Amino acid sequence: MSNLLDELAQDFPRADFAATRAMRACRRMVPCFAALLILLTSGPAMNAQGTAQKCPPATRMDSVADDYHGTKIVDPYRWLEDQTSSETRAWIDAQNKCTDALLGKLPGKEAIARRLGELLRVDTINGPQERGGGYFYSKRAAGQDLFVLYMRHGLSGEEQTLVDPAPMSADHTTSVNFEGISRDGKLMAYGIRKGGEDEVSLHFLDTETHKELSDPFPRARYGFGGFTHDEKGFFYSRFTQEGTRAYYHEFGRDPAQDPLIFGKGLPPSELVSTRVSEDGRHLLIEVIEGSACEKSEIFVKDLEKDGPITPVVSKIPACFNAEIVGDAIYMSTNYKAPFWRLIRAPLANPAESEWKEVVPESDVRLETFRAIGGKLVVQYTHNAVAEIKIFEPDGKAAGNVALPEMGTVSQVEGHWESSEMFYSLTSFAIPHTIYRYDLAKGTSEIWAKSNVPIEAANFEVKQVWYESKDKTRVPMFLFYKRGMAMDGARPTLMTGYGGFDLSETPQFSIDAVVWVEQGGLYAIPCLRGGGEFGEAWHRAGMLEKKQNVFDDFIGAGEWLVANHYTNPKKLSIMGRSNGGLLVGAALTQKPDLYAAVICGYPLLDMLRYQNFLVARFWVPEYGTAENADQFPFLYAYSPYQHVVDGRKYPAVLFVTGDSDTRVAPLHARKMTARLQAAQGGDKPILLMYDTKLGHSEGRPVAKIVEEDTQSLSFLFAELGVEVK
């Protein structure tokens, strides 16, 4: 380690005081990587011209202020909202140089990167979709950076490459994904995504000739609704500045001339999706208010008769998810059922008076359902663990799918007329495994699995319960090496989400595996705001009750300390997107509880968030400061406005990128500047900013390994973990 410090002393022009402090720390047996952080954050780094620059760089402050219903709020870093200005670009470049300089020298990075690569660089396959006897799926081979789109004729047919994104970009930041497949499997829609954008350009392929159709769609946010059964066109939705709108496209026509079929006049906070029924007879249109579906409306159009668009559900303050089966429509809903139920209505007369309950509400959350093999396959979340139950069309119980492990189910696929069903199962130490299930025989077999080098028997998963601030009982998963001693000083990484009705269930994570293999404890509390215990649980963590989510998360950390699993010097937290808001609030409300924080693609300025990108969709979940009644509770927790000058904050690494077109990167930029200026302690506040990638899927393996190595190295260093 002394050699490393000597090397750094040459690389970083430093004040004598900083160098002396670092060297004395090492001599006093303080972990040397802590001394390294002292050294790196105390002096300037070198810029490209070889001259010294302050690390982190000083950030210009504005005197901009806003008046929110009589309350004046200063926003000193408003100028950083402009992503394209030369001043912002220079600031990003300086921040990245500082971050690279610090993180690039941390010990153990090679070992971390090697292990992450071992876990990721294996054949990885996603669940298939069967169309016309062909099986369509995406797969990333061990030596590939990106998923490739494939098909095979029959379960054991020869694999055929449909679209390989590797040649599309030299740095492999362009990816592809399935958008839709025709009923006979002869036509395929796929999206090309650049970086981590939500937007894609839509392309179409003849799967028999492998020739592109002459109808590429320009880059936008699309929802593919399905091909018509005569394959002359397709339905789709597209996000516009006015809101989401639904269209019909006929092959050969200029997409700019596509007729609007639904959505005129709907506000930007409402999402429109379309779907052609499995038999091709009907078009299903769903209108969802807010990303978490505060309420929804259902419409149906008879395509065979070119009938009018007819309402099935309207003006009911609840959420409905629908699937058409023959002459009936099945809908899961939280209408008069906080834990959700399943109802059926005849398409000939879908009035509420004709609705029939087929699967009643129980005390377990009904997550979703599929109509497969002449039966209703219903997925539940029981104490944050997945269950699958099967029902006859009239609601009579028809058995369960016996899941081999406690975990998370996803990618459930199948058809009404076929007993073949596919689903994916994963847990903390079990990578995604694709099962093929025969509903007629009740038999299950593994269709595909990733041969990730990990022995599940070497790990343990435990679910504990703790009391939050208001005495609400909250469950939490703990993942750790079998037989590991809980000695009160266990390096701990805690993460969470708590929002948008999304349930936190056990899932495989390479970060979690590496953390636990290095002797750490990985913890996931199931916070209010999620969907684990129905709509009441969700509503207990949204709008004016959002503080409950932060209390639950803080309470989880305090419980881990009180029960001698860890202590504040060994506790780190991590969150992404809405989870980034979570850890942003946690670090501003309880900074002394954590040693280090990873805050990824976050929302942090909750007074202005609604003004950017697609954030209007989230107003039903969070509220908006434009509303005089909602401003007070948003202002009460908004992390950016609650940074206190001179306060000692934990080490923080913000992660975002230019291609995040969902959560505006300005949140991380402004919060980085604010915390750096306010920091009263000696812990680093850093920004890792990718100029090509962003929020959504499609990152190449090499980039995943690089980013995760940086993040884990940062946490290990701050918690004093010597990487083995």
Q: Which of 576, 562, 638 is nearest to 605 (CA)?
A: 638
Annotated catalytic residues are 577, 695
**Cα–Cα dist 310/295, whole Å:** 18
For 678, counting Cβ atoms within 10 Å of its Cβ (0-12 exposed, 13-18 middle, 19+ buried), the class is middle
Q: What are the strands of the beta sheet with 443-449, ordered from one edge? A: 408-414, 420-427, 430-438, 443-449
Between CA 446 and CA 169 the distance in angstroms is 34
Tell me whether residue 68 is exposed, middle or buried, using C-beta atoms within 10 angstroms of its C-beta: 0 to 12, 13 to 18, 19 or more.
Answer: middle
The DSSP 8-state label assigned to residue 220 in this structure reads B
CA–CA distance, 13 with 359 (Å, rounded to integer): 70
Instruction: Enumerate the β-bridge partners of residue 332.
Output: 321, 342
Contact by Cβ (8 Å): 58, 38? no
Q: Report the distance separating Cα 219 and Cα 438, nearest Å.
A: 40
Residues 6+ apart with CB under 8 A from 185: 131, 132, 133, 134, 136, 151, 207
Q: H or E segment at 94?
A: helix 86-103
DSSP one-letter code for 58: P
Contacts 24+ apart (CB under 8 A), 448-451: 448/125, 450/122, 450/123, 450/124, 450/125, 451/122, 451/123
Q: And the tokens for 371?
A: 């109509």
Please give the distance of CA 6 from its chain centroid, rounded to a whole number: 41
Q: What are the backbone dihedrals phi and psi of residue 692, each rounded to the nearest 5 degrees, phi first?
A: -125, -30
Q: Which of 412, 410, 371, 409 is nearest to 392 (CA)?
A: 371
**Length in residues, the chain:** 724
CA distances from 214 to 45, 200, 202 (A): 52, 17, 11
Sheet holding 309-313, edge to edge: 270-276, 282-289, 295-302, 309-313
